[in-house]
Amino acid sequence: MRLSLPRLPRTTSYDLTLVAVVLALLAIGLAMVYSASGIPARDQRDDPSFYLFQQSLWAALGLVAMAAAARIDYHRLRPFAVPLLVVVLVLLALVLLPGLGTRVGGAARWLRVGGFGLQPSEVAKLALVVYLAFWLGARKDLAKSGAALPFAGLVGTTCALVVAEPDLGTAIVIGMLALAMYFVAGARLSIFGLIGLAALGGAVVAALAQPYRVQRVLTFLDPWSDPRGAGFQTIQALYALALGGPFGEGLGASREKAGFLPAPYTDSIFAVLGEELGLAGSLTVILLFLLLAFRGTRIALRAPDREGTLLATGVTMWLAAQAWINIAVVASLVPMTGITLPFISYGGSSLLVGLAAVGILLNVGHQGTAEPAHQPRGARGARGWGNGRSREPAPRDRRSPRRLAPVTRAVRRWPPRARG
């Protein structure tokens, strides 16, 4: 006799696995920011925990933004899509004006008002994802060539403004997430291929337009040709990964961060992580990003409408592509470019906007998996049978080739649960 246990009601329809992955990356990031920035913070600010304190504040604000975005129906973002994109494009133009944009390391990427700094290119990722989700979701003529022109014009303009800062790495991420959304929206393959080739050609032209970018490509091919100059950062990052070994030197024990590795708590933080936590820690972070990409793809596939699918696709591609580029640069798999590791590198704008984007992703997943209140537990919500029958299979009679009529039984109807 088979005993059937009563099904326990779910306490939430949010993707708790995704939440756990993001919180794990955030915790690792705070620990690594404190470890990698302690020496520069002591020398520059006379406080080893200065950058940790700043990052913790941004993390707290980001978690509030993530929680708020997860509770707000993503369809309510539609009226803000166009104004947000216009504001971001204006900010991207303002950051290029002398006297307005703050230059750090030869790049004008920040707008500062008092002690507050904003990086418009980070907000541009979120603004473009939201706008493209509703714009592409409402268009039914993506298979026609005419639909590609406004898409290419908008994305090209945004990328051109970011490249002018200069920030080629962020422009590549923006191009990748936009192409992924255009493909998922149902573009014709021939048109998609032409746009992809044009984007690749634009990236090559941008890489060859500046002498220092050409030098980076040559350094990528042979970093030991100039070990004290152009190849210094690449070589030191490889040294850090090699010194880590299987299990690392221990948290806080990195030697490369002590004046050898440039940008140890921003662009090169994965090298410090590899030295201190070893291959085990590096693979843990990589697996966490792979799990984030998997859960995001799962949410996109189960979204209730086209807009939700496109939002989930854009956010997932954005975070996964940016993480891959940062790790690939540190491991010398691609030419050097300055880009942060999501949720781990130091940076307030990147952390705040990234956590807000995860909140939107959680809301899409929540609406894609939540069961209607009027539907019985035996009927299909997101995974059951489409006709509302219980999951019990029809009995089979081996003596007859025909299937007998299914045996039906009463399905207990649970009262609708209250939703907070």
pLDDT in tens, 17-34: 999 999 999 999 999 999
Locate 42 and state its tokens: 């002591």
Q: CA 353, 358, 359, 365 torsion: positive or negative?
A: positive
What's the pTM value of the predicted model, to 2 decimals? 0.84
More confident call, 229 vs 134: 134
Residue 414 predicted with pLDDT over 60? no
More confident call, 139 vs 325: 325
Which tens digit of pLDDT belongs to each residue from 173-202? 999 999 999 999 988 888 899 999 999 999
Q: Could you give the CA distance from residue 130 to residue 86 in angstroms, rounded to a whole number? A: 12
Number of structural domains (the chain) is 1
CB 159 within 8 A of CB 170: no
User: Measured at the alpha carbon of residue 370, what is the angle toward residues 367 and 372, in degrees to the nearest 5?
Assistant: 110
Domain presence at residue 93: yes
More confident call, 353 vs 259: 353
Domain presence at residue 89: yes
User: Measured at the alpha carbon of residue 334, what is the angle toward residues 329 and 336, in degrees to the nearest 5?
Assistant: 55
Domain presence at residue 404: no
State the burial class of residue 252 (Cβ atoms within 10 Å of its Cβ: 0-12, 13-18, 19+). middle
pLDDT-based confidence at residue 83 (cuts at 50, 70, 90)? very high
In sequence order, the 6+-apart residues with CB closer than 8 A to the CB of 338 are 107, 167, 169, 263, 267
Q: pLDDT value at position 146?
A: 66
Domain presence at residue 122: yes
SS (H, E, C) the chain: CCCCCCCCCCCCCCCHHHHHHHHHHHHHHHHHHHHHHHHHHHHHHCCCCHHHHHHHHHHHHHHHHHHHHHHCCHHHHHHHHHHHHHHHHHHHHHCCCCCCEEEECCEEEEEEECCEEECHHHHHHHHHHHHHHHHHHHCCCCCCHHHHHHHHHHHHHHHHHHHCCCCHHHHHHHHHHHHHHHHHCCCCHHHHHHHHHHHHHHHHHHHHHCHHHHHHHHHHHCHHHCCCCCCHHHHHHHHHHHHHCCCCCCCCCCCCCCCCCCCCCCCCHHHHHHHHHHHHHHHHHHHHHHHHHHHHHHHHHCCCCHHHHHHHHHHHHHHHHHHHHHHHHHCCCCCCCCCCCCCCCCCHHHHHHHHHHHHHHHHHHHHHHCCCCCCCCCCCCCCCCCCCCCCCCCCCCCCCCCCCCCCCCCCCCCCCCCCC
Domain presence at residue 279: yes
Q: pLDDT value at position 417?
A: 44
Residue 149 predicted with pLDDT over 60? yes
Residue 395 predicted with pLDDT over 80? no
pLDDT, average across residues 43-69: 94
pLDDT-based confidence at residue 378 (cuts at 50, 70, 90)? very low
In terms of average pLDDT, the best of 4-18, 31-45, 351-365 is 351-365
Which tens digit of pLDDT belongs to each residue from 336-350? 888 999 999 998 889
More confident call, 219 vs 420: 219
Q: pLDDT value at position 139?
A: 83
Domain span holding position 275: 16-369
Domain presence at residue 382: no
Count of all residues that appear for the chain in the document = 420
Q: Could you give the CA distance from residue 149 to residue 230 in angstroms, rounded to a whole number? A: 39
Q: Could you give the CA distance from residue 351 to residue 346 in angstroms, rounded to a whole number? A: 8
Residue 375 predicted with pLDDT over 70? no
Domain presence at residue 362: yes
CB 120 within 8 A of CB 91: yes
Domain presence at residue 72: yes
Q: pLDDT value at position 4?
A: 54
pLDDT-based confidence at residue 2 (cuts at 50, 70, 90)? low
